[in-house]
């Protein structure tokens, strides 16, 4: 099954203390730094043409559950990966066993991807559908991680461009 990635402004997470995010969006995250890296396969800030295939690399300090969400330039939110178990270390999505690909699609512009990590399996289903402004997007992702202690959650962000 092929999943089309409606990569607009791909976005990712929030949590408990302030971090530096490349387009600094005032995101907060845990001080645990459980996600040590997230980036597109061509590198952060790289450019992809519509129709090209994208891979996302995520590196974590601990095993846990990862959700990847995006926010396109029009403000539409998407869940790319939901509650995927990842071991400590580096995982590239889609994984070889996944039955989908990330094929870059319109709209064109800055794309943000938000990685949301928890050490334990999430007890609630993250629902991202609809249109978001930055404040509402941050509120939704923050609400998702609030049940977890600061040392058991992390959110980080990366970006790229679609031309």
DSSP letter assigned to residue 151: G
Other CB atoms within 10 Å distance of the CB of residue 162: 24
Tokens of 153: 């959650």
Q: CA-CA distance, 18 to 25, in Å (whole number)?
A: 10
DSSP letter assigned to residue 131: B
Confidence of residue 142 (pLDDT cuts 50, 70, 90): confident
Domain membership of residue 109 as a residue range: 3-162
| Mean residue pLDDT across the chain | 81
pLDDT at 11 over 60: no
pLDDT tens digits for range 115-129: 999 999 987 777 777
* pTM above threshold 0.95: no
pLDDT tens digits for range 63-109: 999 999 998 888 888 899 999 999 999 999 999 999 999 999 999 99
Triad 7, 121, 33: Cα angle to 5°: 70
Instruction: Give the count of domains, the chain.
Output: 1
Q: What is the pLDDT at residue 90?
A: 97
Q: CA-CA distance, 161 to 40, in Å (whole number)?
A: 10
Higher pLDDT, 30 or 21: 30
Other CB atoms within 10 Å distance of the CB of residue 65: 17
Tokens of 114: 């938000």
């Amino acid at each position: 099954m092929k999943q089309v990635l409606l990569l607009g402004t791909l976005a990712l997470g929030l949590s408990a203390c302030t971090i530096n995010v490349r387009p600094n969006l005032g995101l907060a995250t845990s001080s645990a730094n459980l996600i040590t890296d997230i980036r597109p396969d061509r590198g952060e800030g790289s450019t992809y043409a519509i129709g090209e295939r994208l891979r996302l690399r995520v590196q974590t300090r601990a095993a846990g559950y990862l959700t990847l969400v995006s926010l396109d330039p029009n403000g539409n939110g998407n869940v790319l990966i939901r509650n995927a178990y990842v071991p400590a270390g580096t995982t590239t999505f889609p994984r070889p066993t996944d039955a989908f690909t990330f094929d870059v699609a319109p709209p064109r512009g800055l794309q943000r991807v938000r990685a949301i990590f928890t050490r334990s399996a999430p007890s609630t289903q993250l629902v991202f559908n609809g249109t978001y402004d930055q404040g509402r997007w941050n509120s939704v992702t923050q609400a998702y991680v609030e049940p977890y202690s600061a040392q058991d959650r992390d959110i980080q962000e990366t970006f790229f461009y679609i031309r």
